[in-house]
Chain A
């Protein structure tokens, strides 16, 4: 990246847009991502939300946000963003609204909303070139309803609907959809993956995205202590491990051109990441499922073998 105001962690903006006291679980990765993402976005934001864990941030009569919030419905937050954006545009154009009242419109949904029930709505909004941000907080399952599998649940993970059994020793047998590529195939100005562990990377990406008009899409891996079976304190560590094992590549695509923003010099084995999470425990106990672990490692290796250095 060229000119950026974010060089080190010292540059993280001090202004808080999110206050404490939400009902989200202790150590929730999604909450951390929202907090940091908002710092980079700055003020004058309206969040447009689909049903998911973060919906519970604001429940009557409380909200942790100093910005506006609009809970729409599970399948159609991007359409909700369309309505708000268009309404602001037409009111400003007609002189009914002071341009100083304008807002950045930011969709915030979980992975289930983004990859399953709301994929159509997102695709529509991206296709129409809607000027908005989309932040998908990916905890790799339907967290709010009790951690059932979504199409972003990784292969080998145990969820409430993909419990490992003797018939299905691997747990989830379906692969994780590549939402980054699905989004990128629409050729929006900006798509990126981010991680709460790599804060400067995140801030720079938001900073860059701010310079584009049109869809700016972010996929954030958000460790979920409750669903993943980790200690709340390990949340950021897990996000870091996902990056260091190469499971979660940090990258961006500007008008479809992909760049990796962080290439781990020596990738740690995926096992390091898997074995500390209860959702993968069945891959290690009572007997180690070498085949599935090797398959996961192979997929990661293949991915990186195609990444140009």
Chain B
């Protein structure tokens, strides 16, 4: 999002953001996303998380943590975050009034064909998010990224887009997608292995006794395992492990 009184000519990549809002803490560490890049001293980082996250911060960045997902669950019953994050952005910037926010949430969701009650829930969510943070004015943002133009060398075979490292999506911590965490109750579990079979993500392995072990780094929290377990031995908890 770009805000300016003058015509906005910047397009595409935002080089030095004043505010960065991150929907899931894992994105902070994703080498393909790099959300912190270009942040100047005095800029603002908002992370949707109930707890603080250890980030190596080279700059003095004002960081705020809020569990917006919790609010989304409360109002909508699902982790739909667009209105919520929009509301946070509006408030942080201090440039957009609550009324403008509500108007645009109503208008845009109506365009998408959402039912009136669902729009109202989103409005309530937006309102609560709006009031859950304070506006933060920006202090001296004088960060100038170096952006030196370099020469690209011919890399021979390495310059071919073939991938030789197999099975490396394991590095991508999709565990942060979870809203609810599946937890195996060993007292109820019979080690039948059914949850292992039906996990679409290959996130469940079986230990030597045949009991399921969940890989929480990557488990997306789809809860297929919970539903498929014949003993109802997999409980769910609101996600906390990740953050």
Contact = CB atoms under 8 A, between A and B. Distances in A.
Q: State if A and B touch, Cβ cutoff 8 Å.
A: yes
Interface of A: 9-10, 12, 14, 16, 18-24, 26-29, 31-32, 35-36, 57-58, 60-67, 69, 163, 196, 199, 225, 231-237
B12 interface: no
Interface string B170-198: 11111001000000000000001110011
Contacts, number: 113
Given A35-B202, A60-B161, A63-B168, A20 B197 contact: no
B17 interface: no
Contact of B171 (A10, A21, A60, A237): A21
Given A9-B194, A235-B224, A19 B170 contact: yes
Contact of A61 (B163, B200, B203): B163
Given A9-B193, A10-B193, A199-B197, A237 B165 contact: no
Contact of A19 (B169, B222, B224): B169
Contact of A20 (B194, B202, B223, B224): B202
A20 B169 contact: yes
A198 to B, nearest CB: 11
B3 to A, nearest CB: 29
Nearest to B204: A20
Q: Give the one of A24, A61, A66, A231 with max B CB within 10 A.
A: A61
A137 to B, nearest CB: 12
For chain B, the bracket of interface size reads 35 or more
Q: Give the one of B169, B192, B218, B219 with max A CB within 10 A.
A: B169
Given A61-B165, A61-B168, A63-B168, A235 B200 contact: yes
A242 to B, nearest CB: 16
B201 A22 contact: yes
B81 to A, nearest CB: 15
A232 B79 CA distance: 12
Nearest to B210: A10
Contacts of B221: 26
B49 interface: no
A35 B200 CA distance: 7
A196 B222 CA distance: 15
B200 A9 contact: no
Interface of B: 113, 161, 163, 165-174, 177, 192-194, 197-203, 206, 215, 217-224, 226-228
Nearest to A67: B166
A32 B200 CA distance: 4
Closest 5 CB pairs of A and B: A21-B169, A20-B218, A233-B223, A27-B222, A26-B222
Q: Give the one of B113, B166, B193 with max A CB within 10 A.
A: B166
Contacts of A21: 169-174, 201, 218
A20 B227 contact: no
A57 B202 CA distance: 14
Contacts of B215: 20
B25 to A, nearest CB: 16
Nearest to A63: B163
B196 to A, nearest CB: 8
A215 B192 CA distance: 35
A233 B163 CA distance: 32
A28 B227 contact: no
Contacts of A236: 198, 224, 227-228
A31 B167 contact: no
B8 to A, nearest CB: 27
A215 B131 CA distance: 61
Contacts of B228: 236-237
A21 B30 CA distance: 12
B167 A64 contact: yes
A212 B197 CA distance: 26
Contacts of A16: 202
B224 A27 contact: yes
A28 B203 CA distance: 14
Nearest to A20: B218
23 contacts: A9-B193, A9-B197, A14-B206, A19-B167, A19-B169, A20-B201, A21-B169, A21-B173, A22-B172, A27-B200, A27-B223, A65-B166, A65-B167, A66-B167, A163-B113, A199-B197, A225-B222, A231-B223, A232-B223, A233-B224, A234-B227, A236-B224, A237-B227
